[in-house]
Amino acid sequence: MDENNVLMRIQGLTTNFHTYAGVVHAVDDMTLTVPKDCVVGIVGESGSGKSVTMMSVMRLIPSPPGRIEGGHVWFDGAALGMSDRMEKNGPNEGMVDLLGLPAEAMMKVRGRHISMIFQDPMVSLNPVLTIGLQMAESMVVHGLATKEEAWKRAVDMLALVGIPNPEERMRDYPHQYSGGMRQRVMIAMALSCNPELVIADEPTTSLDVTVQAQILELMKELKAKLKSSIIIISHDLSIVAGMADKVVVMYAGRVLEEADVYDLYEKPGHPYTMGLMKSVPRLDAEDRERLVPIEGSPPDLLAPPVGCKFAPRCKYAMNICRKQEPPLVTVGDGHRARCFLHHPIAPAVPGFVKVE
């Protein structure tokens, strides 16, 4: 990857929750690179650490009990305008570590340079403030416009995301909008300050299929216009397939596989990724083809298993898998997987095709 084309690089991010029952290892040594003008999809079961990773990037982890205990989140320093905080030498030259910023400096990053579309727009929107006030607030706070200018800009953004009669609807409250329209408002708010990165956390949750398609198409159009990078978090592999350029598969707080979207879907390199794909219906499937569930349950993050976290559910697991954590190894051009089956001395396993 061209180092000049990197917008954000997460290195060794570790986030734990200290509870009365013990320490929950929610994100464990997370590493991820987000190129400029790119859509990165993050997939995995509930509890795999997808949302916690992005909340850590935004530094919105509630403390207590949450605590970011390691790693770095490097962001393009030129985009932030923080030349005094840029790394001078090394692989992250010209980048700023968001985890090292003072709280006031981080507040200037949120909304302006990194925006987030949260899972539930009804909970995320303030029920006692009008849509217009909430839309205009971030532009005024970040000094991008006066109140009058921000109001006009907000009207334009609502029109851009397909809200009818935007000038009138600016004075409405969230409960007067449908679920799909509230999600459109959240997208408009996230893009109102022209951020370099938009994090969409399950942007189509609880929406019907027709509205889902409209929201995803809208996000594609806005990305093309604004040239922002997008991180889309989803359980739905079909959504990620249609949106993403690059896909990261997470499990038990760790990255198990990452690849170009076409490589991942054509040649999945980890048994967990294969299991996810076999558990969802396909348009090209034969009639009456059975879906194959992934047996078992995700591990208890209070006491994760020794070795590979997926080994207790993996039909290809070997003895070494239950004793040692596999490294994230390169298995193709830009394709990495955390699996011992890609080791040169690994035995041939029926049904498992090594990526080459």
pLDDT digits over 5-58, tens only?
899 999 999 999 999 999 999 999 999 999 999 999 999 988 899 999 999 999
Cα-only R_g, the chain: 21
Residues 179 and 233 occupy one common structural domain: no
Residues 290 and 271 occupy one common structural domain: yes
Q: Read off the pLDDT of residues 316-334 as tens digits, 9 standing for 90 and up.
A: 888 889 999 999 888 888 8
**Under 8 Å between Cβ of 272 and 256:** yes
Q: Read off the pLDDT of residues 335-355 as tens digits, 9 standing for 90 and up.
A: 999 999 887 767 666 656 665
Q: Read off the pLDDT of residues 283-304 as tens digits, 9 standing for 90 and up.
A: 666 667 777 888 888 899 999 8
| 312 SS3 class | helix
Residue 338 forms part of a structural domain: no
Residues 129 and 98 occupy one common structural domain: no
Residue 341 forms part of a structural domain: no
Residues 167 and 277 occupy one common structural domain: no
Residue 327 forms part of a structural domain: no
Q: What's the CA angle centered on 260, arms 257 and 264, to 5 degrees?
A: 55
Residue 219 forms part of a structural domain: yes
159, 177, 194 - which closes a domain:
194
Distances (CA, A) of 193 to 32, 50, 138, 246, 274: 25, 25, 7, 25, 39
Residues 75 and 213 occupy one common structural domain: yes
Q: What single DSSP character describes residue 190?
A: H
Residue 312 has φ and ψ, to the nearest 5°, of -60, -20
Domain membership of residue 149 as a residue range:
124-194
Residues 63 and 204 occupy one common structural domain: yes
Q: Mean pLDDT, the chain, as a whole number?
A: 88
Number of domains in the chain: 2
**pTM (two decimals):** 0.90
